[in-house]
């Protein structure tokens, strides 16, 4: 029998280049220095410097792959300003992977236990992670980072509520219409955002461009994100996919049911993507609804909802059903929000829906003491709905909304990761043993 052996020769230009990042005086940085050779492997103490170097390497001609591996630790931006800037990227053949969560020898990666905390500041003048305008790259991966906006927010000492007017009104990631074939946002933590986590507002390189938003925690953010990308000469993103994300306790733009943006995810029209897919995500305790649907159905992308878990997402509207508020929308010109549960979506809309569930996932959520508004003045009934209303600081008689704890600061604890404890809920949302490789 004749055997054929295929040997692939890779040119130096196509070899992956790696930047190892570890905090000053850490075992990780000592190891990184021992591995650095100045040609294919580099060592840095500061993440913002590593990103500058990564852009320089990625911009070299040819199909470059640049991997920034970040060991666990707390990282500050330049001069403690709380931002990290990636200079202009100019190579459509290159790939840039920013991967956090490594151990001290960069062998094992556990994004939700080996936390890479981007430490922001009160006066940050933009998004945590920013990409220079007019950037272009073949593939961009952002994985294993913790974006906690609490240090740049202000909170009312009496009510625990966020003070939006004096908190920084920037997203956590700004893509600045970066042009790419493939965007991956995977296995990150977005928490305490005062003005959203990010919008995947990239420009597709062509009509086959895709966006994958996978395995992220979105916790305690105001108006989390919008499913909007840019267009390129009429071409839009082919598929925007959300898979195994956990959307927990995300808030409307204003704490009332007439606010302009109430739901966790704001569904954009087909000018933002040809198809949007939600697969095995978890939506729980988002008081304004899981998804906001304001555009008429004939202007929407091909929307797929398959095997997602929904629980108690309409507390702001006084609806305590487990599957309430999957959609909260005006659907065109309706003067007020209409709530759609799973049955309504399956029966009344032409979207692809299958295998979606609504039951309690039993997520351990730790909040500061919550106070029902004027709770001493009402006759409280012992109902599930009132339990949810109390959780959100709502008047427990179902009357006037008065949130006393609107988006209070929360922490992400690697010793108590907010995963479902209900056995049948565990396939939904974040899977801590799965991440981008």
Band of the pLDDT at 391, cuts 50, 70, 90?
Answer: low
Q: What is the pLDDT of residues 311-320, one digit of tens each?
A: 989 888 877 7
Q: Which residues fall within 8 angstroms of residue 359, CB to CB, at 6 or more apart?
A: 309, 311, 322, 422, 424, 425
Q: pTM value? A: 0.90
**Contact assessment for residue 356 and residue 302, using Cβ atoms and an 8 Å cutoff:** no
Per DSSP (E only), the strands in 238-350 are 239-243, 246-248, 265-267, 275-279, 282-284, 291-293, 302-306, 309-311, 327-329, 338-340
Q: What is the pLDDT of residues 46-75, one digit of tens each?
A: 999 999 999 999 999 999 999 999 999 999
Cα 85 from Cα 71, distance rounded (Å): 19
**Contact assessment for residue 437 and residue 215, using Cβ atoms and an 8 Å cutoff:** no
Give φ, ψ of 237 to 5 degrees.
Answer: -55, 135
Band of the pLDDT at 251, cuts 50, 70, 90?
Answer: very high
Classify residue 370 by its DSSP letter: P
Closest CA to 352 of 299, 296, 277: 277
Spell out the domain ranges in the chain. Answer: 13-145, 149-368+417-437, 369-404
Q: Ranked by mean pLDDT, which of 4-18, 111-125, 363-377 comes out on top?
A: 111-125
Structure tokens at 20: 């190892």
């Amino acid at each position: 029998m004749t055997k054929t052996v295929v040997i692939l020769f890779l040119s130096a230009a196509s070899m992956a280049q790696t930047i190892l990042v570890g905090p000053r005086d850490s075992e990780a940085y000592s190891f990184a220095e021992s591995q650095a050779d100045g040609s294919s492997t580099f060592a840095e103490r500061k993440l913002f410097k590593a990103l500058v170097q990564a852009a320089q390497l990625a911009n070299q001609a040819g199909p470059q792959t640049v991997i920034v591996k970040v060991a666990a630790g707390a990282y500050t931006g330049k001069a403690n300003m709380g931002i990290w800037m990636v200079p202009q990227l100019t190579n459509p053949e290159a790939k840039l992977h920013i991967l956090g969560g490594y151990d001290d020898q960069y062998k094992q990666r556990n994004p939700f236990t080996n936390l890479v905390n981007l430490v922001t500041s009160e006066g940050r003048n933009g998004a945590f992670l920013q990409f220079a305008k007019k950037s272009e790259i073949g593939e961009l991966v952002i994985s294993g980072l913790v974006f906690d906006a609490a240090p740049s927010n202000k909170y009312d000492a009496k009510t625990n509520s966020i003070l939006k007017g004096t908190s920084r009104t920037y997203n956590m990631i700004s893509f600045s219409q970066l042009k790419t074939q493939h965007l991956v946002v995977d296995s990150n933590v977005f928490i305490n955002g005062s003005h959203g986590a990010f919008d995947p507002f990239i420009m597709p390189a062509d009509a086959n461009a895709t966006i994958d938003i996978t395995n992220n925690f979105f916790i305690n953010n105001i108006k989390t994100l919008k499913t909007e990308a840019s267009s390129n000469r009429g071409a839009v993103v082919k598929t925007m996919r959300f898979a195994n994300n956990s959307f927990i306790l995300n808030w409307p733009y204003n704490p009332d049911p007439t606010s302009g943006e109430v739901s966790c995810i704001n569904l954009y029209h087909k000018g933002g993507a040809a198809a949007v897919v939600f697969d095995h995500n978890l939506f729980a305790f988002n008081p304004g609804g899981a998804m906001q649907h304001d555009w008429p159905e004939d202007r929407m992308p091909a929307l797929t909802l398959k095997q997602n878990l929904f629980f108690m997402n309409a507390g702001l509207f006084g609806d305590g059903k487990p599957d309430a508020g999957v959609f909260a929308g005006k659907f065109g010109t309706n003067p007020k929000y209409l709530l759609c549960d799973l049955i309504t979506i399956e029966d009344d809309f032409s979207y692809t829906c299958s295998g979606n569930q609504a039951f309690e996932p039993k997520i351990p959520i730790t909040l500061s003491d919550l106070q029902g508004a004027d709770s001493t003045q009402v006759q409280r009934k012992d109902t599930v709905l009132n339990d949810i209303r109390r959780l959100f600081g709502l008047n427990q008689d179902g009357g006037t909304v008065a949130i006393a704890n609107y988006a209070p600061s929360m922490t992400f604890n690697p010793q108590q990761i907010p995963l479902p404890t209900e056995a049948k809920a565990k396939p939904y949302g974040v899977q801590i043993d799965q991440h981008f490789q």
